[in-house]
Amino acid sequence: MRNQPTNQYRNEYYVKGMHCAACELYVENAISKIPGISKADADLKSGKLQICGERNFTTEELSKVIEENGYKIVANQPTYTRTNWNELLKGLLIASVFMMLFYIIQKLDIVNLGNPNESIGLPFVFMVGIVASISTCMAVVGGLVLTLSSHFAGKGQTKPLVLFHLSRIIGFFILGGVIGLIGSAFTLSPALSFVINLVLFATMILLAINMLGVFPGLQGLQFKMPKFVGKKVVKMGDTPSLLMPIFLGAATFFLPCGFTQSMQLYSLTTGSFINGALTMLVFALGTFPMLALISFVSTKFSKTLQSGLFYKTAGFIVIFFAVFNLVSSLYVIGML
């Protein structure tokens, strides 16, 4: 391990805009690449960012590398701002229209979203993927895509990018199936399946609360895997080789995105390789269009949908998904 220089400056800042553990990884990785910074450590719960560098950096310098993804570095702890009720109500209205359209589609049998006593349908999973791909929770994956794009596309190579996306979709299918098999190996009883669905419900509600920004005291209270797992995946993208896109695409399955983890929990409750595999496959397909835009078109377009109103709308949609799945699980165990 390289000895850290003794003349390093250590400073503490605050990050605005973090919603889940993947945000921590994205901020750390982006900030640590600034010349002169040797270490960056972000914490979702406290909102703090600690850096070590060869000089003191301004908040403007730090914000510059992450602001396009909706984050901002500030010197002091942000004071609690009053809820923007106008934005919140608009988000609720848009989400309600979205939910109504799904209800109408189901009633017209255009798309079968499942009976009340069945689990959440694949169309819902696909929509979760779309929402995830636009949110900052997928920014770390977008960052990896941009890293590969700048490395290979600059040399006129598009095949590695295609391999990344193909590997990601296939990897999610296979690993989702493995999770489904794990569920079947434990022979999930209706009661145990309901408990897992409760955890899934709590995971999605906490994610939605962070997106809505209405309960700042709950900021950072989320279920997440150890950070070192995600760091290993992110570091894989720093030294891209011809084979790296293949490994990296599949490895994004282990990044701590709240949406991904929610779908992984749901895959566990399916108790089937095919159902678990299809769940994660459809989720990956939902995230693909926006990630493909980042890869082959322009990162600027992918950021135009990111706004306070978008996160409010997405937060309500996530709550809808969570409640729908919980009600379905209650039907399964005969409580409704």
Residue 227 pLDDT: 60
Give CA angle at 106 (117, 270), nearest 5°. Answer: 40
| Six-digit token string for 134 | 């636009």
Which pTM does this prediction carry? 0.68
Which pair of structure tokens corresponds to residue 172? Answer: 């999610």
Residue 70 structure tokens: 């909706």
Query: With the CA atoms of 301, 303, 304 and 305 taken in that order, what torsion angle do they form, in degrees rounded to the nearest 10?
Result: 120
Q: Where are the domains of the chain?
A: 9-74, 85-332
* pLDDT per residue rounded down to tens, the chain (336 residues): 445 455 678 889 998 877 767 778 788 888 988 999 988 998 877 888 999 988 888 889 899 888 877 788 998 876 655 667 788 888 889 888 877 877 776 666 555 544 433 456 787 788 888 878 876 666 667 767 766 666 665 555 677 778 888 999 999 999 999 999 998 877 667 777 778 778 888 888 887 887 777 766 555 555 555 665 566 666 665 565 667 778 888 888 987 777 888 888 888 888 889 999 999 999 999 989 888 877 665 444 444 444 567 778 878 888 887 887 788 778 767 776
Backbone φ and ψ for 219, nearest 5 degrees, come out as: -55, 125
**Residue 32 C-beta-side C-alpha neighbours within 13 Å:** 16
Give the CATH class of 9-74: alpha beta
